[in-house]
Structure 1
Amino acid sequence: MADVLTICAGCRATDKPARGAELAERLRAVIGPETEVRVSDCMNVCSQPITVSIRATGKAAYLFAGVDPDTQADELIALAQLYAKAEGGIIDDARPLGQLRFCLLGRIPG
């Protein structure tokens, strides 16, 4: 199974339309084949849109919330690249993720 990056398509700020599906399309155009980009109707972190997860069989999974589709697309690309290379999904140095590392809600063991 490839790595899977999932973006909540239902997340929206109260005064803005949902942007998760648009973000997913942008990422699909640039993320390599080792990472599948999917959308989900709801990831149940509605208070902090946009929610993003990354996971794969046998690897740790990560959940991020409060991701800004306008400023953090490149950081999500960096996440996919780091995760693809990370043994067991463990990213030891999150600094290349920029501000995205501060959006992390948790890591779930693989």
Structure 2
Amino acid sequence: MTRHVISICGECEGAGAALAGAVGALPEGVALRLAPCMNVCSRPVTVAARAEGKAAYLFGGVGPADAAALATFARLYAGAPDGMIADARPLGRLRFCLIGRIPA
């Protein structure tokens, strides 16, 4: 059963699909999907992460060069009981793309 969902804006001029294709393997229980427009068009590509009972995340300005960092984020997020990632340094540039974290 998939518990965690990483959604990538699929309408960002093909860049969303390129990012999704570059991410590679994700941990068990994490699904990656292309989503309809997330309405953050000023910062393409937009990425959201959510799971029941966990904080949700929204990133903007993410590109294929951030694919490895996104996979690292997925691993850390899946392993965090409440979804809160205390040390974002392993995410490299992706940590500066964070628009917001929404408490569970």
TM value normalised by structure 2:
0.92
> Size of the alignment, in residue pairs?
103
Structure-1 residue corresponding to 2:16: 20
Give me the identity figure in percent.
Answer: 52
Q: 1:20-59 alignment to 2 at 5 Å? A: 20-27=16-23, 29-59=24-54
Q: 1:5-16 alignment to 2 at 5 Å? A: 5-12=6-13
Runs of 4+ deviating beyond 3 Å: none
Once residues 46 and 72 of structure 2 are traced to their aligned partners in structure 1, the CA distance between those partners, rounded to angstroms, is: 17
Aligned alpha-carbon RMSD (Å) = 1.2
TM value normalised by structure 1:
0.87
Structure 2 alignment gaps of length 5 or more: none
Once residues 23 and 95 of structure 1 are traced to their aligned partners in structure 2, the CA distance between those partners, rounded to angstroms, is: 21
Structure 1 alignment gaps of length 5 or more: 13-17
Structure-1 residue corresponding to 2:88: 94
Q: Report the Cα offset of residue 31 of structure 1.
A: 0.9
Q: Report the Cα offset of residue 23 of structure 1.
A: 2.2
